[in-house]
Amino acid sequence: MKKIAVLTSGGDAPGMNAAIRAVTRGALYHKVAVYGIERGFEGLINGEFQELEICSVSDTMQRGGTWLKTARSERFMTPEGFQRALDMLENFEIGGLVIIGGDGSFRGGLKLSKAGIKVVALPGTIDNDLTYTDYSIGFDTAVNTVLYAIGNIRDTSSSHERGTVIEVMGRHSGALALYAGLTGGAEIIVIPEEPVDINKVCRTLVEGKNRGKQHNIVICAEGAAINSSDLTKTIIERTGIDMRLVILGHIQRGGSPTARDRMLASRMGYKAVEILLQEGNASKAIGIKGEQIIAYDLEEALEVKRSYDKSIIELADIIS
């Protein structure tokens, strides 16, 4: 392995820069040349490669986003685009590719690996929806961003004795809603994986109000069966509680990564290099189980059925 490349793809996540840094410096430590590909698979097709030196990644670890830029590439899904991507890797004589992204990026990586490219995929998504790993890069920072927002909203909510529905990201995954909901003391957590029991939601809020609760925080994932706007209107209609809706949106995707995300990204990024340097062509997905950094077969990692930790929502029900 003489040359490797790294790209970030799909929605950005805090900690991606720390992962790029670890891949770059890890590769250079082992005397392997490393190229950064800008704009994910789109840049791969366009040949947007730049050779990285030690100082290319200086002063990047603490920054959110990805300095390599990212994109969601439609062209990569076409036979012509895909072939061009393969040609580019061959032109630049890239022996191994590190892909940092979410589910869609992993699937792109799998396609490349089936065409003979050695790929190592790192989970970089605030959604934490890749079930083979306990955590993905960016999730911890996003949870903390939501917690900060909940704190501010709770202050004004208490002053006005009203409730707030807070919509958090997560098209298919309730992980962010669950973690931020439990640790932020939300009264209700609504996630895509569970049907919404609107009667129970209203009952809980009314009981809380009757017990003298100053505020009511409802965390609703964007992909939940009921959308956050309808949920807010229904609560107002049925309970008479004064409610507001706050959609946090892309604020959750930015910000300086937490220590935990920097640690995860650094360990995973270096592990990716070690895997690429090993003999054999097997493509891998890097993850963490407990405190252990692990390498899964890429295809098997994608086959792990989606699940979520039901005990978190049960605990939130008990202690909120």
Q: Give the interface with ligand F6P as residue ranges (CB under 6 A).
A: 11, 102, 125-127, 169-171, 222, 253
Counting beta carbons within 10 angstroms of the beta carbon of residue 261, is it exposed (0 to 12), middle (13 to 18) or buried (19 or more)?
buried
Phi, psi of 276 (to 5 degrees): -65, -30
The bridge status of strand 216-221 relative to strand 3-8 is unpaired
- Is 155 a known active-site residue? no
Q: What is the DSSP letter of 306?
A: P
Q: How far is the CB of 63 from ligand F6P (least distance, A)?
A: 18
Nearer to ligand F6P, 9 or 157 (CB): 9
Contact indicator for 6, 22 with CB cutoff of 8 Å = no
**Active-site residue, from 12, 59, 87, 127:** 127
Nearer to ligand F6P, 57 or 301 (CB): 301
Q: How far is the CB of 173 from ligand F6P (least distance, A)?
A: 7
Phi, psi of 296 (to 5 degrees): -100, 155
Beta bridge mates, 279: none
Q: How far is the CB of 111 from ligand F6P (least distance, A)?
A: 19
CA torsion sign for 188, 191, 195, 196 is: positive
Q: How far is the CB of 215 from ligand F6P (least distance, A)?
A: 26
Nearer to ligand F6P, 163 or 170 (CB): 170
Nearer to ligand F6P, 40 or 170 (CB): 170
CA–CA distance, 170 with 148 (Å, rounded to integer): 18
Phi, psi of 312 (to 5 degrees): -70, -45
Which residues have a catalytic role annotated? 127
